[in-house]
Amino acid sequence: MALQPDRGGDTRNAADRRHQRTAITMLVLAGLVIIAGWYAWDSITDPEETSDGVAPTCQPAAPTDAPPPAEIELNVYNATDRNGLASSIAREMRTRGFAILDVANDPSGSEITGTAEVRAHLDSQAAASLVMAQVPGAVFVADNRTDGTVDLVVGAAFEALAPPGGAPAPAPPADGTSTPLPSC
């Protein structure tokens, strides 16, 4: 009578390997479900992006309570490395009737990754809203200046001024926080 090798250990090892593969497969699938759920939740709750991942654009217009452009003393500053950007924007803003005072690089040296910042005192909210209506995506930044001037500081994402006209823009918040213009 020949001795048969004990196959109990081999059968046990094969079953253990099957269980390990099943567990790994289930973990991978659970991870994919979690990632898909997170992506879906982010898509639903992010008002800045549409389903194709592109931020919507619209053209806000001048607020009705804003002073005329000729009464708004505007400084135009460049916070990018594009030469002549502040000059070209100042020329266009002058043709739109704004009183241009200073055209230069941003004196604060801030890095602005968005379209633009409109800086002014809270008392100049209406004037700042009119300037914000000229630059889609601009944000208001309240400061402590004592005069009624408004600064338009162009950032890295700036592409072009908005065409004249459009829908009313909201006034900047009273608490001094930066607020992007809403989507139309």
Residue pair 136/59 in contact (Cβ under 8 Å)? The answer is yes
Per-residue pLDDT tens over the stretch 32-67: 899 888 887 777 765 444 444 444 444 455 556 789
User: What pLDDT was estimated at residue 16?
Assistant: 83
Q: CA-CA distance, 154 to 121, in Å (whole number)? A: 18
Closest CA to 60 of 163, 157, 179: 163
Task: Give me the domain span that covers residue 2.
Answer: 1-45
Q: Identify whether residues 96 and 157 lie together within a single domain.
A: yes
Q: Identify whether residues 32 and 66 lie together within a single domain.
A: no
Q: Identify whether residues 27 and 65 lie together within a single domain.
A: no
**Which CATH number fits the domain that encloses residue 122?**
3.30.70
User: What pLDDT was estimated at residue 93?
Assistant: 94
The structure tokens listed for 58 are 């619209």
Q: Identify whether residues 32 and 84 lie together within a single domain.
A: no
Q: Where are the alpha helices (DSSP H) in the chain?
A: 8-45, 85-95, 125-132
Q: Identify whether residues 39 and 67 lie together within a single domain.
A: no
Whether residue 181 is contained in a domain is answered as no
Q: Which amino acid is at 81?
A: D
Whether residue 155 is contained in a domain is answered as yes
Q: What is the number of structural domains in the chain?
A: 2
Whether residue 55 is contained in a domain is answered as no
Q: From residue 8, how far is each of 1, 18, 19, 20, 62 by CA, in Å?
A: 20, 16, 17, 19, 83
Question: 147 exposed, middle or buried (CB, 10 Å; 0-12, 13-18, 19+)?
Answer: exposed
Beta-bridged to residue 152, according to DSSP, are 76, 118
What's the pTM? 0.57
Q: Identify whether residues 94 and 127 lie together within a single domain.
A: yes
User: What pLDDT was estimated at residue 36?
Assistant: 86
User: What pLDDT was estimated at residue 6?
Assistant: 56
